[in-house]
Structure 1
Amino acid sequence: MPHHLRRSLAACCLIGSAAAAENTVEYVRLDAVPAPAMGYGYWLPAGFSATTATYPVMVHLGGTGERGDGKTQLGLVLNNGPLNLLKNPNAQNQAFREFFAKHPFIVVQPQLLSADGGWAYPSPASGKLHTLINQDLDAKFPGRIDHQRVWLSGFSLGGGGVWLYSQLYASEIAASMPIEGAASSGSSQSLERFIGLPVWAFQNFNDQPYRDFTGSWLKNIVARWQGAAPTDPYANFPSTAGDHSAGYRMASGYVWSDGLVAPGADVPAMTMFAGGGHNWTQAMLPTASWQWLVTQNLANRPFRAGLVVDNFDPARTSKTGNWQLEAPPLNSPASQLAFLDNGHLGSSGAQFTFSPVIPASGTYQVQLRWTTPATNPAATRNSAVPVDITSPTGTATVTVNQQQNGATWVTLGQYRFAAGGACAITLRTAGLTSAVSADAVRLLPVDVLAVDGLSPIDGPAAGGTVVTLIGSGFGAGTAVSFGSAPATVTAVTATTITCAAPALPAGRCPITVTRDGAAYTRFGAYTAIGTGAHSRLIQMSPLPGPRWWEADPPFTAMAPNLATQTQSITGWSNQTAVITVAPASAIQ
């Protein structure tokens, strides 16, 4: 459901009409009224009922042992995941509970029906989960779900579900965290959706076949991105002594480093634990993984690799007429990835429509993909298939020859779309006399307004710091604001903006760029440093650095305006880190 429709729905509901139970596990059964798409357990943070603010949502998918009937067996979802950590206040879970108290979010753990089996197509599970996240939670908590911050995790069978759901709905989730995922990747073009999606996968070295499952996703996603043969991410794995993390680099492939290192590349990264078997706690107990997760925000992620909608995406496609699965064609490893209209169409008028959800207003290049039949494409494909492209300005029609260019992306033209607005690509068959393939569509951003980063990321609250924004869609008339305060823009190109930060209250603030009626906001992008209010964290070990931390708990030993020095400091769960700080007064 588009975000503007969710807001309209919320406006019609009484928010907080009844106090919701907090700091405890609650359940919504499949036989509830109204009935959800999936039964689920949930946990609301303390203070939820005292405010009307929106909250991020953590959705965790359990393994085979957590499946059930969605009613009397819902308690099985507590076997693993954040609900398990929250419900059991033991010493092992204390670090997460302390983190959760400071960074509250809603936890939802749906139960996969035993009858649905798993998450792979043609199971209806992914479609049910999509309905749960985008409709049922809004109905349960009207106006309280922050759909820009929906995070997905899962263990074992549920970890495979994270991969498979992300493959369908990457444009609607802020980050994914598959743990020991029990699903292998194919080489489908839909893997391109992962480019730009923050994914941190976790795996134990001695846990087969799950290690190979995780590796298949990493190598095939890169292969789709580069258009080259898959590269084995484990080829230069250092050893089994200690934990290691891998991030992808264009020049050298997957590069391994010691310890838990959060993703920083455009493609999924992973951490390999030295031991522990089939285990979910190694990924979820360290606060490093949660620190990474809670910073992920869908609004900060422009889709550079484009939006891909496959023909088996139940929420983004519709069809009329007799469309069927075809036998595996050339260049397509799995038959479910290609629909084929059955034989000679005559005047049946069958149609197949792809309906991408546009995340940001701008111009997109629209591309269509069809399959190549195993034999004689000239005799089994139509040479003049009409394709309608519907945008806010109307409908344009392009004719494509499916006897040629199979299994490639064919450009239909450039069209301007509005965020959440009309977008449909429809293949029509009325009057055609040979078959039509409807495989996938892709929208590549051309001049979509977005901010990818900025330098520097901080400055005195008094203002005046010269800040350079890097992104796309900039041009004449572009305006910039820090929070609600306008900045003075001094130079603009298509990809950079130079501006002077205004005077601001101390703390973090969003940066918003506007042009031609379109707006893009990068949340938490800039930190205004007040006198004596903050210290600059230059390095932290063993936690990843360099990075910023504000002078507030849990690092209570970090006093403001410390002299530049190295010291030990106590953080979460009494863990000690060595840090190097510089005083705020030294930042000019």
Structure 2
Amino acid sequence: MKHLFVPLLLLIGLSAVAQQSPAKFSLDVRYLLSLPDGYDADSTRKWPLLIFLHGSGESGIDLDKVKVHGPPKLVEAGKKFPLIIVSPQSDFGGWDAGILQRLILDLKTHYRVDADRVYMTGLSMGGYGTWEYASRFAGDLAAIVPICGGGRPEDAWKMRYLPTWCFHGGKDNVVLPSQSADMINALKPFQPGVKFTVYPDAGHDSWTEAYNSDSLWTWLLAQRRHEFKPATVAPATLAKYAGVYVRSGRDTVVITPAENALQLQAGRGKELLKPASETVFYWMDKAPVDIIFNKEGFLFRGWQLEQYKKVK
């Protein structure tokens, strides 16, 4: 018993004097930066920003590797673009959407970025990274151009307000064309105007032809971030939507009128629904969630439509 008691006292003594101090781990993100001609001539003008995500072969700590494909290659060859181009390098063989968002926030702080014209594109691993970022932070972007990548079709609804042009090689045996096709097919019901170009004779390298297309750049620069501006709805219209709604006899929500809005309550949770029109209301999650009123009640639009019926 004596041998057990002494170590216990020592442990108690150690814990009494143990201390913790603040510390921090910083992550450096290397990137290539290309500023457009005229950037320094007007200190008030804001410029579109393009984030380019490279493929797995360009990962590492040598930034020159990022210049071998895509927009950095074109810039290196002397092509001029009327936008800021930032090409980060991944040193761990993947893209982290959270880190990329922090990078974009930092760029907006240090450069004159037009927040309504932030674009993202990537090839192969970068195509996957582009889809992933859009599935998490669609509201940050004005348009995406994923090339020979893929994503989760169940997340496509989150990108329904995000203009998209996807490219793939018909003979790609590294990332199968079905990876892009699955995303486009999932997105079409929400965004009928989504663009999908398949180069029938191209293998994995479908990006060279895509980035050399002037029509791609013309289209991209014409895109702006979707503006969620509430419409004005008459109080009488709001009042008729008040009531209790049930889905599948289980989930119950209560809707009450508010000032040019509707209050939705599910259990203890509440969301303020803003009107997009007299029949469509939304709230902002990581992506906008839609409530579409119809004769039976309303449709909740997540990755699929779910009917809630009005019971009273």
Normalising by structure 2, we get a TM-score of 0.66
Which residue is equivalent to 1:194?
Answer: 159
Aligned equivalents of 2:39, 2:271: Cα separation in 1: 48
Query: How far 1:192 sits from its partner (Å)?
Result: 1.0
Matched residue SS, 1:86: helix
| Paired position in structure 2 for 1:161 | 129
Decide whether aligned partners of structure 1 residues 266 and 277 sit closer, same or farther in structure 2, where only a CA change above 3 A counts: same
Alignment of 1:96-175 (within 5 A): 97=79, 100=80, 104-114=82-92, 117-119=93-95, 125-133=96-104, 135-141=105-111, 144-175=112-143
Alpha-carbon distance in structure 2 between the residues aligned to 1:138 and 1:440? 21
In structure 2, the CA distance between the partners of 1:159 and 1:275, relative to structure 1 (3 Å rule), is: same
Q: Output the CA distance in 1 between the equivalents of 2:259 and 2:126.
A: 38
Kindly indicate whether residue 33 of structure 2 is the aligned counterpart of residue 42 of structure 1: yes
The answer to whether the 8 A contact 1:36-1:136 is kept is: no
SS where residue 188 of structure 2 aligns? helix
Q: Per-residue displacement from partner, 1:550-577 (whole Å, max 9, x unpaired)?
A: xxxxxxxxxxxxxxxxxxxxxxxxxxxx
Note the C-alpha offset of 1:179.
1.1
1:176 to 1:269, Cα distance in 2 relative to 1, 3 A: same
1:297 shift after superposition: 1.4
SS of the residue 2:40 aligns to? helix
> In the alignment, what sits opposite 2:51?
59
CA distance in 1, matches of 2:271, 2:160: 22
Deviations 1:209-249 (A, max 9, x none): 331111110122236x4xxxxxxxxxxxxxxxxxxxxxxxx
Q: What's the counterpart of residue 74 of structure 1?
A: 63
1:401-440 mapped onto 2 (5 Å cutoff): 414-415=273-274
Q: Deviations over 1:59-95 (max 9, x none)?
A: 1100001222xxx423322121211111124xxxxxx
Q: What are the residue-to-residue correspondences of 1:240-259 with 2, within 5 Å?
A: none
Matches within 5 A, 1:168-247: 168-181=136-149, 183-186=150-153, 188=154, 190-208=155-173, 209-222=175-188, 225=190
Greater relative contact order (Cα < 8 A, sep 6+) = 2
Residues 53 and 121, structure 2, Cα contact 8 Å, conserved in 1: yes
Superposed, 1:416-565 pairs within 5 Å as 442-444=289-291
Q: Which runs of 5+ in 2 are unaligned?
A: 1-25, 239-247, 277-282, 294-312
Letter matched to residue 84 of structure 2? I
Could you give the per-residue CA deviations for residues 289-322 of structure 1, whole angstroms, max 9, x where no partner exists? 1111111112xx35xxxxxxxxxxxxxxxxxxxx
Residue of structure 2 aligned with 1:398, choices 265, 283, 297: 265
Is the 8 Å Cα contact of residues 56 and 146 (structure 1) preserved in structure 2? yes
2:200 and 2:260 map into 1 onto residues whose CA distance is 56
**CA offset at residue 398 of structure 1?**
2.1
CA distance in 2, matches of 1:37, 1:282: 32
Deviation at 1:45, TM superposition (A): 1.5
Mapped to 1, the partners of 2:204 and 2:186 lie a distance apart of: 23
CA distance in 2, matches of 1:415, 1:46: 41
Question: Please, which runs of 5 or more residues in structure 1 have no aligned partner?
Answer: 1-34, 90-96, 120-124, 226-264, 303-358, 366-371, 373-377, 403-410, 418-422, 426-438, 447-588
Q: Is the 8 A contact 1:40 1:109 kept in 2?
A: yes
Identity score, percent: 27
CA-based RMSD: 3.9
CA contact (8 A) 1:184 1:217 kept: yes
For 1:194 and 1:442, how far apart are their aligned partners in 2? 11
DSSP 3-state at the match of 1:282: helix
